[in-house]
Amino acid sequence: MMKIFNSLSKQIELIEPYKPGIIGMYACGPTVYDYPHIGHGRKYVNDDVLRRALTRIAGLKVNHVQNITDVGHLVSDGDEGEDKLEKGARKYGKTVWEVASEYTDYFFQEMDILNVLRPTISCKATDHIVEQVKMIEELVERDFAYVTKEAVYFDVTKAENYGQLFGQDLGEKMVGVREEVETDNSKKNPADFALWFMRVGKYEDHVMHWQSPWGDGFPGWHIECSAMSRKYLGDQFEIHTGGEDHISIHHPNEIAQSEAATGKTPFVKYWFHSAFLMVDGKKMSKSLGNVYKVADIIERGYDPMALRYYYLSTHYRKQMNFTWEGMEAAANAYKKLREQVEELMKIAKEMGSQEGEHVDTFIKAVEEDLNIANALAALWEGVRSDVIPEEKLGLVSLADEVLGLRLIRTSEIDIPKEVIDLKNKREDAKANKDYQMADKLRDLIYSAGFEVRDTADGQVLKPR
Ligand code: AMP
Ligand code: ZN
């Protein structure tokens, strides 16, 4: 029986799907305007472990929908400033569409390297403008939204329980928001948020734009998640994930829009929020030079699975403080565990069943709000215990299914599928004499921890 902490009720709750055997899980995806960093990695590894646990431990089929934010997310979550995609385009001297496509690919490559399963459905905001416009129309019709010269806004005073997720009443929230910069004087309440921006004023040159009943413009950031989750998971579904920064603005806005449009409550049963990752006790920032990518970790010689191990050693609801000393300690622990598994593989004749005392303790820990630290302790204990090697391997294979740490590496699975895919793509590029692409793919293979050599028999991969 899986339990997780629900940020809405602020309690640990038993997960009960609406329909037996199947569960919907919507994850707020990345804003694809720049490289993802190790903080993103933490959030998506936490989601991945939740999904794997729901599948393997709770026996559910998980419909995992994750969006790609490629328009409308402004520099401030409170509807202020430039669109992040335009910022990325300026920085890299590319079009917004090129930036979106490149950083979407990059995001998935990094997640593959971290052994994060790809979502069942990955959906882009720009592919779902029709759905977003339709939902905004419903909100205007139902009088939850109003139109000004600059935007269509959601009136937060009309939403029931607007502050439930962030645990404040609307009055307190209004005071907080009023202190922020305000631009549109026709906004009824400071906390009202934009559903659609008109291509006027500061956005008159906005590159991505579409026609709508209110004029040429582009969607606000929040509406995409309400429209796409509804399309793929229905009016009401079970789990919604995101980073803890979404508790105060993005997720209350999603709840307000969705419940207002469908008239159904609750929009989502369980809210799963990952706490942030800090570096040396500070927020990652360009000025501090502490924004690390997964590739930077690999560059320093670490196995990406050691980073995954490091992530899993902090509970998902606790802030994680990344330090190079911590990375080193996690890498050593992971290496020791892998060595034990290698030894086991030499002596075990076959894989034992996934049963026994240590397996039970492992499962209980995972079921209890993903207590992965305890699950890892059970794994270590099991591996070091005096049970037969076959049974130990059974425990390790269960741990691999749930934690995705690639502890068992036979010769075939030694090389991750995505690296093989990159190698195959490189073969195609070489066949097409696209040497620039072939070199780029070589770099990607390198950042995934492998070297590719061109031999008389074709390309050969080996771990770095
Ligand atoms: P973004 O690309 O900024 O839209 O973020 C994508 C997801 O990553 C969101 O759910 C964020 O909450 C999460 N996220 C961003 N930065 C961090 C961080 N430093 N630690 C953990 N999660 C993060
Ligand atoms: Zn979202």
What digits encode the pLDDT tens for the residues 331-342? 999 999 999 999
Predicted local distance difference test score (pLDDT) of residue 382: 97
Predicted local distance difference test score (pLDDT) of residue 413: 47
CA 324, CA 358: separation in Å to the nearest integer?
A: 31
- Quick one: average pLDDT of 35-63? 98
Identify the bridge partners of residue 368 per DSSP, sorted by sequence position. Answer: 3
Ligand whose nearest atom lies closest to the CA of 123: 2
Closest residue by CA, ligand 1 atom 8: 40
Predicted local distance difference test score (pLDDT) of residue 196: 97
Q: What's the token pair of residue 129? A: 């403008």
Residues 387, 433 within the same domain: no
- What end-to-end distance do the CA atoms of the chain give, in Å? 41
4 vs 417, more confident = 4
CA 247, CA 250: separation in Å to the nearest integer?
A: 7
Question: Is the pLDDT assigned to residue 277 strictly greater than 60?
Answer: yes
Question: Is the pLDDT assigned to residue 167 strictly greater than 90?
Answer: no
Residues 31, 59 within the same domain: yes
Tell me which DSSP letter residue 69 carries: B
Question: Is the pLDDT assigned to residue 183 strictly greater than 80?
Answer: no
Predicted local distance difference test score (pLDDT) of residue 447: 84
CA 105, CA 2: separation in Å to the nearest integer?
A: 33
State which residues form the domain around 309.
278-403
Q: What's the token pair of residue 391? A: 């049974």
Please state the φ and ψ torsions of residue 43, each to the nearest 5 degrees.
-60, -45
DSSP assignment of 181-247: ----TT-SSTT-EEEEEES-GGGTT-SS-B--TT-SEEE-HHHHHHHHHHHHH-SSEEEEEEEGGGG
Predicted local distance difference test score (pLDDT) of residue 67: 98
CA 290, CA 330: separation in Å to the nearest integer?
A: 19
Which residues lie with the beta carbon below 6 Å from any ligand 1 atom? Answer: 28, 30-31, 39-40, 42-43, 69, 242-243, 245-246, 274, 276-277, 284
Distance 283 CA to ligand 2 centre (A): 21
Q: Is residue 112, in this structure, part of any structural domain at all?
A: yes
Q: What's the token pair of residue 80? A: 């202020």
Among the ranges given (16-25, 30-39, 298-307, 415-424), the one the predictor scored with the smallest mean pLDDT: 415-424
Buried b (16+ CB within 10 A) or exposed e, 218-245: bbbbbbbbbbbbbbbbeebbbbbbbbee
Ramachandran class of 406: left when φ > 0, alpha when ψ lies in -120 to 50, beta otherwise: left
Average pLDDT, the chain: 92
Identify the bridge partners of residue 69 per DSSP, sorted by sequence position. Answer: 31
Last residue of a domain, one of 255, 274, 293: 274
Distance 73 CA to ligand 1 centre (A): 13
In degrees, rounded to 5, the angle at the alpha carbon of residue 305 between the alpha carbons of residues 301 and 307 is 70
Distance 337 CA to ligand 1 centre (A): 30
Give the chain's radius of gyration (CA, Å): 24
Residues 172, 96 within the same domain: yes
Closest residue by CA, ligand 1 atom 13: 243
CA 264, CA 24: separation in Å to the nearest integer?
A: 16
Q: Is residue 9, in this structure, part of any structural domain at all?
A: no
Closest atom, ligand 1, to C-alpha of 278: 19
Q: What is the pLDDT of residues 12-34, one digit of tens each?
A: 999 999 999 999 999 999 999 99
Closest residue by CA, ligand 1 atom 6: 30
Q: How much of the chain, in percent, has pLDDT values that exceed 90?
A: 78
Residues 193, 173 contacting (CB under 8 angstroms): no
Residues 372, 257 within the same domain: no
Please give all residues whose CB falls under 5 A of ion ligand 2, grouped by chain where several chains appear: 28, 225
Residues 282, 252 within the same domain: no
Ramachandran class of 95: left when φ > 0, alpha when ψ lies in -120 to 50, beta otherwise: beta
Q: How much of the chain, in percent, has pLDDT values that exceed 70?
A: 95
Closest residue by CA, ligand 1 atom 11: 243
CA 22, CA 277: separation in Å to the nearest integer?
A: 31
Residues 80, 172 within the same domain: yes
Ramachandran class of 457: left when φ > 0, alpha when ψ lies in -120 to 50, beta otherwise: alpha
Q: What's the token pair of residue 211? A: 């026609």
Contacts of 428 (CB under 8 A, 6+ apart): none
Which residue from 219, 216, 213, 221 is spatially nearest to 204, judged by alpha carbons?
216
Closest residue by CA, ligand 1 atom 9: 243
Question: Is the pLDDT assigned to residue 265 strictly greater than 50?
Answer: yes
Closest residue by CA, ligand 1 atom 12: 243
Last residue of a domain, one of 230, 255, 274: 274
Predicted local distance difference test score (pLDDT) of residue 179: 47
Predicted local distance difference test score (pLDDT) of residue 331: 98
Please state the φ and ψ torsions of residue 74, each to the nearest 5 degrees.
-80, 165
Residues 179, 53 within the same domain: yes
Question: Computed from CA positions of residues 242, 244, 247, 248, in that sequence, does the dihedral angle turn out positive or negative?
Answer: negative
Q: Is residue 7, in this structure, part of any structural domain at all?
A: no
Residues 121, 237 within the same domain: yes
Helix (H, G, I), strand (E, B) or coil at 113: helix
Predicted local distance difference test score (pLDDT) of residue 462: 72
Last residue of a domain, one of 274, 289, 309: 274
Q: Is the omega angle on the peptide bond into residue 266 within 30 degrees of 0, that is, cis?
A: yes
Ligand whose nearest atom lies closest to the CA of 229: 2
Closest atom, ligand 1, to C-alpha of 43: 22
- Helix locations, 302-371, DSSP H: 304-312, 324-347, 357-367
412 vs 233, more confident = 233
Continuous segment of H or E residues that includes residue 73 = none
Question: Is the pLDDT assigned to residue 412 strictly greater than 50?
Answer: no
Residues 237, 268 within the same domain: yes
Q: How confident is the model at residue 177 (pLDDT cuts 50, 70, 90)?
A: low
Ramachandran class of 185: left when φ > 0, alpha when ψ lies in -120 to 50, beta otherwise: alpha
Predicted local distance difference test score (pLDDT) of residue 272: 98
Q: Is residue 1, in this structure, part of any structural domain at all?
A: no
Q: What is the pLDDT of residues 305-324, one digit of tens each?
A: 999 999 999 999 999 999 99
Q: Is residue 409, in this structure, part of any structural domain at all?
A: no
Closest atom, ligand 1, to C-alpha of 31: 2
Q: Is residue 368, in this structure, part of any structural domain at all?
A: yes
Ligand whose nearest atom lies closest to the CA of 103: 1
- Quick one: average pLDDT of 399-422? 83
CA 393, CA 356: separation in Å to the nearest integer?
A: 12
Question: Is the pLDDT assigned to residue 81 strictly greater than 80?
Answer: yes
Kindly tell me the burial class for residue 453, based on how many C-beta atoms sit within 10 Å of its own C-beta (0-12, 13-18, 19 or more). Answer: exposed
Residues 353, 435 within the same domain: no
Please state the φ and ψ torsions of residue 202, each to the nearest 5 degrees.
-65, -15
Structurally, the chain folds into a number of domains equal to 3
372-384 vs 389-403: helix axis angle to the nearest 10?
Answer: 160
Q: Is residue 411, in this structure, part of any structural domain at all?
A: no
- Quick one: average pLDDT of 143-169? 92
Q: Is residue 225, in this structure, part of any structural domain at all?
A: yes
Residues 161, 310 within the same domain: no
- Quick one: average pLDDT of 347-352? 88
Residues 202, 334 within the same domain: no
**CATH code assigned at 118:** 3.40.50.620
CA 48, CA 370: separation in Å to the nearest integer?
A: 11
Q: How confident is the model at residue 180 (pLDDT cuts 50, 70, 90)?
A: very low
Ligand whose nearest atom lies closest to the CA of 247: 1
